[in-house]
Amino acid sequence: MCGRFAITLPTDAMAQLFAAAPANDLPQVPNYNICPTDPVHVIRSDGTQRSLLSMRWGFIPHWYKTPADGPLLINARAETIAEKPAFRSACRERRCVMLASGFYEWTKDTEGNRLPWYITRRDTAPLAFAAVWQDWDKGDNPLRTCAIVTTGANATMSKIHHRMPVVLEPEQLSLWLGEEGKGAARLMQAAPEDKLQMHRVDRAVNSNRAAGPELIEPFD
């Protein structure tokens, strides 16, 4: 599961790093507390040109009559994505990459209090989450929506949660984005355990209204 994350990289840096042409309506950065239904930074490719776009985090299947017509689909399980009616077409034809600096996960103490953790790459590079997208146009305001692909946790992540996002390496992006033909399914697995690191952060981030760089600072 991935239900909250942060992005701190400037827009021009994201565009340059991922060789993508930026759109004009990208979300403001930095954002230390990105929540479901917020606009997020997404890389998409038409096979020859990559674009850095804004999409709504929360995939809306084409049969939903309203955005709230069913469950909020922020994650898609790698194990069943090719079978689920909501995602099976997208995983073949509409794959994308969601960008993050780090993401949050929670454990509980003996009293049931939610204790937040912030997870990043050890090499401090941005996280590139495997994702899928869907255009929804049933309402007055058409939406371009997306969901993160998740898989079983690696040994590092399993200390705090049994699921994790599929984190792509730079050399895997072309295959996931459809620039190198078929075979993207083999990328839907947990990152090696030495790729990620984590630290406790203040419980302030438990509120979806919290903001500011202090949310990702280590907390003892």
Q: Which of 91, 96, 105, 146 is catalytic?
A: 105
81: DSSP letter? T
Q: Active site residue: 2, 91, 96, 146, which one?
A: 2
Clarify whether 179 is annotated catalytic. no
49-77: buried (b, 16+ CB within 10 Å) or exposed (e) per residue?
Answer: ebbbbebbbbbbbeebeebeeeeebbbbb
- 213-216 contacts: CB < 8 A, separation 24 or more? 213/8, 213/30, 213/32, 215/6, 215/32, 215/33, 215/118, 216/6, 216/8, 216/32, 216/101, 216/102, 216/118
Q: Can 146 be counted among the known catalytic residues? A: no
CA distances from 116 to 36, 87, 120, 184, 208 (A): 17, 29, 13, 32, 13
Cα torsion angle, 65, 68, 71, 77, sign: positive
Residue 206 near residue 167, CB atoms below 8 Å: no
Burial class (CB in 10 A: 0-12, 13-18, 19+), 116: buried
Phi, psi for residue 52 in degrees, rounded to 5: -100, 110
Residues acting as catalytic residues: 2, 105
